[in-house]
Amino acid sequence: MAADANNNGSLLKFGLPKGSLQDSTISLLERAGWKLRQHHRNYFPDVNDSEMKCSLCRVQEIPRYIADGTLDLGLTGKDWIHETGHDKDVVVVSDLVYSKVSNRPARWVLAVAGDSPYKRPEDLAGKKVSTELMNFTKEYFEDANIPVQVEYSWGATEAKVVEGLADAIVEVTETGTTIKAHGLRIIAELMQSNTQLIANREALKDPAKLKKIQQIDMLLHGALDAESMVGLKMNVPEDRIPSILDELPAITAPTVANLWNKDWVSVEIIVNQSVVRDLIPKLVELGAKGIIEYPLNKII
Amino acid sequence: MAADANNNGSLLKFGLPKGSLQDSTISLLERAGWKLRQHHRNYFPDVNDSEMKCSLCRVQEIPRYIADGTLDLGLTGKDWIHETGHDKDVVVVSDLVYSKVSNRPARWVLAVAGDSPYKRPEDLAGKKVSTELMNFTKEYFEDANIPVQVEYSWGATEAKVVEGLADAIVEVTETGTTIKAHGLRIIAELMQSNTQLIANREALKDPAKLKKIQQIDMLLHGALDAESMVGLKMNVPEDRIPSILDELPAITAPTVANLWNKDWVSVEIIVNQSVVRDLIPKLVELGAKGIIEYPLNKII
Amino acid sequence: MAADANNNGSLLKFGLPKGSLQDSTISLLERAGWKLRQHHRNYFPDVNDSEMKCSLCRVQEIPRYIADGTLDLGLTGKDWIHETGHDKDVVVVSDLVYSKVSNRPARWVLAVAGDSPYKRPEDLAGKKVSTELMNFTKEYFEDANIPVQVEYSWGATEAKVVEGLADAIVEVTETGTTIKAHGLRIIAELMQSNTQLIANREALKDPAKLKKIQQIDMLLHGALDAESMVGLKMNVPEDRIPSILDELPAITAPTVANLWNKDWVSVEIIVNQSVVRDLIPKLVELGAKGIIEYPLNKII
Amino acid sequence: MAADANNNGSLLKFGLPKGSLQDSTISLLERAGWKLRQHHRNYFPDVNDSEMKCSLCRVQEIPRYIADGTLDLGLTGKDWIHETGHDKDVVVVSDLVYSKVSNRPARWVLAVAGDSPYKRPEDLAGKKVSTELMNFTKEYFEDANIPVQVEYSWGATEAKVVEGLADAIVEVTETGTTIKAHGLRIIAELMQSNTQLIANREALKDPAKLKKIQQIDMLLHGALDAESMVGLKMNVPEDRIPSILDELPAITAPTVANLWNKDWVSVEIIVNQSVVRDLIPKLVELGAKGIIEYPLNKII
Amino acid sequence: MAADANNNGSLLKFGLPKGSLQDSTISLLERAGWKLRQHHRNYFPDVNDSEMKCSLCRVQEIPRYIADGTLDLGLTGKDWIHETGHDKDVVVVSDLVYSKVSNRPARWVLAVAGDSPYKRPEDLAGKKVSTELMNFTKEYFEDANIPVQVEYSWGATEAKVVEGLADAIVEVTETGTTIKAHGLRIIAELMQSNTQLIANREALKDPAKLKKIQQIDMLLHGALDAESMVGLKMNVPEDRIPSILDELPAITAPTVANLWNKDWVSVEIIVNQSVVRDLIPKLVELGAKGIIEYPLNKII
Amino acid sequence: MAADANNNGSLLKFGLPKGSLQDSTISLLERAGWKLRQHHRNYFPDVNDSEMKCSLCRVQEIPRYIADGTLDLGLTGKDWIHETGHDKDVVVVSDLVYSKVSNRPARWVLAVAGDSPYKRPEDLAGKKVSTELMNFTKEYFEDANIPVQVEYSWGATEAKVVEGLADAIVEVTETGTTIKAHGLRIIAELMQSNTQLIANREALKDPAKLKKIQQIDMLLHGALDAESMVGLKMNVPEDRIPSILDELPAITAPTVANLWNKDWVSVEIIVNQSVVRDLIPKLVELGAKGIIEYPLNKII
User: What local confidence, expressed as pLDDT, does residue F251 receive?
Assistant: 64
In this complex, is the C-beta atom of D61 within 8 Å of any C-beta atom belonging to chain C?
A: yes
The fold of the E2-102+195-226 domain, in CATH, is D-Maltodextrin-Binding Protein; domain 2 (3.40.190)
Could A296 and F293 be called an inter-chain contact, meaning their C-beta atoms sit closer than 8 Å? yes
User: What local confidence, expressed as pLDDT, does residue B3 receive?
Assistant: 39
Same topology, domains C2-102+195-226 and C106-192? Answer is yes
Q: Decide if F248 contacts F239 (C-beta within 8 A).
A: no
Instruction: Write out pLDDT tens, residues E166-186.
Output: 999 999 998 787 888 788 999
How far apart are the CA of F91 and the nearest CA of chain D, in angstroms?
A: 22
3-state secondary structure B187-201: EEEEEEECEEEEEEC
Chain E CB contacts of F118 below 8 Å: none
The model carries a pTM of 0.86
Determine the 3-state secondary structure of D12 from DSSP. Answer: strand
Chain C CB contacts of D164 below 8 Å: 2-3, 5-6, 70
Nearest to E217 by CA among B275, B281, B290: B281
- In whole angstroms, what is the distance from residue A60 CA to residue F8 CA? 66
Cross-strand pairs, A13:
A53
Model confidence band, residue E235 (pLDDT cutoffs 50, 70, 90): very high
Nearest to A217 by CA among A75, A76, A8, A104: A75
Task: Reply yes or no on whether the pLDDT at E268 is more than 80.
Answer: yes
Instruction: Write out pLDDT tens, residues C19-46.
Output: 888 989 999 999 999 988 876 555 678 8
Task: Reply yes or no on whether the pLDDT at D108 is more than 80.
Answer: yes
Could C218 and E177 be called an inter-chain contact, meaning their C-beta atoms sit closer than 8 Å? no
- In whole angstroms, what is the distance from residue C37 CA to residue C20 CA? 18
Residue among C214, C252, C267 whose CB faces E289 most closely = C252
User: Of residues A5 and E166, which shows the higher confidence score?
Assistant: E166
Chains touching F (3+ CB pairs < 8 Å): A, D, E
- In whole angstroms, what is the distance from residue E145 CA to residue E140 CA? 9
Rounded to an integer, the average pLDDT of E69-85 is: 96
Nearest to B85 by CA among B68, B70, B97, B103: B68
The residue of F104, F229, F293, F297 whose CB has the most chain A CBs within 10 angstroms, and thus the best one to mutate to test that interface, is F293
Q: What does the domain layout of chain E look like in residue ranges? A: 2-102+195-226, 106-192, 230-295
In this complex, is the C-beta atom of A281 within 8 Å of any C-beta atom belonging to chain D?
A: yes
Q: Decide if E229 contacts E270 (C-beta within 8 A).
A: yes
Residue among D177, D260, D292 whose CB faces F231 most closely = D292
How far apart are the CA of B288 and the nearest CA of chain C, in angstroms?
A: 16
Q: Decide if B69 contacts B200 (C-beta within 8 A).
A: yes
Chains touching D (3+ CB pairs < 8 Å): A, C, F
Residue among C230, C261, C281 whose CB faces B297 most closely = C230
Positive or negative, the CA dihedral D212, D218, D221, D223 is negative
Could C300 and E278 be called an inter-chain contact, meaning their C-beta atoms sit closer than 8 Å? no
- In whole angstroms, what is the distance from residue E41 CA to residue F223 CA? 37
Determine the 3-state secondary structure of A282 from DSSP. Answer: helix
Rounded to an integer, the average pLDDT of B83-105 is: 86
How far apart are the CA of F94 and the nearest CA of chain E, in angstroms?
A: 25
User: Of residues C224 and D162, which shows the higher confidence score?
Assistant: C224
Torsion of CA E154, E160, E163, E165, to 10 degrees: 90
Chain B CB contacts of C177 below 8 Å: 39
Looking at B170-253, list the stretches that DSSP marks H as alpha helix, in order from N- to C-terminal side: 177-181, 207-226, 241-247
Q: Decide if D181 contacts C41 (C-beta within 8 A).
A: yes
In this complex, is the C-beta atom of B230 within 8 Å of any C-beta atom belonging to chain E?
A: yes
Portion of chain B with pLDDT greater than 70, in percent? 92
F228: nearest CA partner in chain A: A33
In this complex, is the C-beta atom of E285 within 8 Å of any C-beta atom belonging to chain C?
A: no
In this complex, is the C-beta atom of E154 within 8 Å of any C-beta atom belonging to chain F?
A: yes
Chains touching A (3+ CB pairs < 8 Å): B, D, F
Chain C CB contacts of D117 below 8 Å: none
Instruction: Write out pLDDT tens, residues F243-298.
Output: 888 888 766 678 888 887 778 889 999 999 889 999 999 999 999 999 999 999 99
In this complex, is the C-beta atom of A256 within 8 Å of any C-beta atom belonging to chain F?
A: yes
E266: nearest CA partner in chain B: B257
User: Of residues B38 and D211, which shows the higher confidence score?
Assistant: D211
User: Of residues B184 and F8, which shows the higher confidence score?
Assistant: B184
B279: nearest CA partner in chain E: E215
Residue among A32, A222, A297 whose CB faces F294 most closely = A297
Task: Reply yes or no on whether the pLDDT at F171 is more than 90.
Answer: yes
Angle between the N-to-C axes of helices F207-226 and F22-32, in degrees from 0 to 180, rounded to the nearest 10: 100
- In whole angstroms, what is the distance from residue B140 CA to residue B148 CA? 10
Determine the 3-state secondary structure of F230 from DSSP. Answer: strand
Chain D CB contacts of F272 below 8 Å: none
Q: Provide DSSP, E7-58.
A: --TT-EEEEEE-STTHHHHHHHHHHHT--EE--SS-SS-EES-TTEEEEEE-
Torsion of CA F9, F12, F18, F24, to 10 degrees: -160
How far apart are the CA of E292 and the nearest CA of chain C, in angstroms?
A: 4
Instruction: Write out pLDDT tens, residues A200-227.
Output: 999 999 999 999 999 999 999 999 999 8
Which ipTM did the prediction report?
A: 0.85
Could C181 and D41 be called an inter-chain contact, meaning their C-beta atoms sit closer than 8 Å? yes
* Superfamily of domain C106-192 in the CATH hierarchy: Periplasmic binding protein-like II (3.40.190.10)
Give backbone dihedrals phi and psi of C211, rounded to 5 degrees, phi first. -60, -45
D41: nearest CA partner in chain A: A181
Residue among D55, D60, D156 whose CB faces C154 most closely = D60
User: Of residues F140 and C159, which shows the higher confidence score?
Assistant: F140
Task: Reply yes or no on whether the pLDDT at D9 is more than 70.
Answer: no
In this complex, is the C-beta atom of F300 within 8 Å of any C-beta atom belonging to chain A?
A: no
In this complex, is the C-beta atom of C266 within 8 Å of any C-beta atom belonging to chain B?
A: yes
Could C127 and D2 be called an inter-chain contact, meaning their C-beta atoms sit closer than 8 Å? yes
The fold of the D230-295 domain, in CATH, is Alpha-Beta Plaits (3.30.70)
Dump strand ranges (E) for chain D.
12-17, 36-37, 46-47, 52-57, 73-77, 90-96, 106-113, 128-131, 149-152, 168-173, 184-193, 195-200, 229-237, 255-259, 264-272, 289-295, 298-299
- In whole angstroms, what is the distance from residue E151 CA to residue F52 CA? 26
Tell how far CA C144 is from the center of its chain. 29
Task: Reply yes or no on whether the pLDDT at F206 is more than 60.
Answer: yes
User: What local confidence, expressed as pLDDT, does residue A80 receive?
Assistant: 96
Could A219 and F289 be called an inter-chain contact, meaning their C-beta atoms sit closer than 8 Å? no
Residue among E214, E231, E256 whose CB faces B257 most closely = E256
Residue among A37, A254, A296 whose CB faces F292 most closely = A296
Residue D61 CB partners (closer than 8 Å, separation 6+): C153, C154, C165
E288 vs A297, C253, E241, CA distance in Å?
80, 13, 9
User: What local confidence, expressed as pLDDT, does residue F164 receive?
Assistant: 86
